Amino acid sequence: MPEDKFVLLTGSSSKLGIHIAELLAKKNYNILLHYFKSKEETISLSEKLKSKFKKQKFLPVYIDLSKVNSKTKLRNLIPIKASMIGVINNASLYLKDTKNNFKFDDYQKNINIHFRNPLALISIIFENHKVNNSDYFAINITDDNLDIDNYYSYSKTKSMLSKYCTEALITNFKNIRIIEFKPKKILPAKDSLKNITSFKQEFIKLLK
């Protein structure tokens, strides 16, 4: 892969993010490792990947996805020499609430993290595709269960992203793949190792 071609992975140092980063690296991708609060963990992940995959690049990138970010602002936060050919929208906010007691500010953060900013990042993919007509992709991590009563804001806003993926699936985008991935509960679990292995096996199929 050319040195300036990158995949942006949001929530890169999360439990699933670390596994996704390793799978991307094994597929020879350069990765933009997004973080918000987990700067040290993300830098550590970057160094670990660099030591193992010496011919690839792994760049930590700070973005606050809980705020409304314009496409221009998001593009400006990406290193100048890094061209996004893919985005994996993995970042999540998982706070307990119900339809009877949710806080508006928390709901807005959920919308920004789970819907608005993922679509803004995907729009950059479409923009880059107009300049360079090669293969591009967006993988959106939603949830196997999108009707969780005690996580109202999470469920409702992840459902918005899921609906977008369904609509995109029936639209023929030339050389752009829009994919929804719904992992089952991975951690904590009675057999976490088995669940992680299954997750990796399923996710790797999505990568070319």
Query: What structural domains and CATH numbers belong to the chain?
Result: 5-204 (3.40.50.720)
pTM score above 0.95: no
Q: What confidence score (pLDDT) does residue 33 get?
A: 98
pLDDT at position 55 is: 94
CB atoms within 10 A of CB 135: 13
The answer to whether 46 and 12 have CB atoms below 8 angstroms apart is no
Can you give the pLDDT of all 208 residues of the chain as single tens digits?
Answer: 556 899 999 999 998 999 999 999 999 999 999 999 999 999 999 999 999 999 999 999 999 999 999 999 999 999 988 899 999 999 999 999 999 999 999 999 999 999 999 999 999 999 988 887 778 999 999 998 888 889 999 999 999 999 999 999 877 778 899 999 998 765 555 556 778 888 899 999 999 8
Q: Given this model, what pLDDT does residue 192 score?
A: 66
pLDDT at 39: 96
Task: Quote the longest CA-to-CA distance of the chain.
Answer: 52
Q: Which residues of 49-83 are buried (b: 16+ CB within 10 A; e: fewer)?
A: beeebeebbbbbbebebbeebebeebbeebeeebb
User: Which pLDDT does position 96 carry in this prediction?
Assistant: 93
CB 160 within 8 A of CB 115: yes
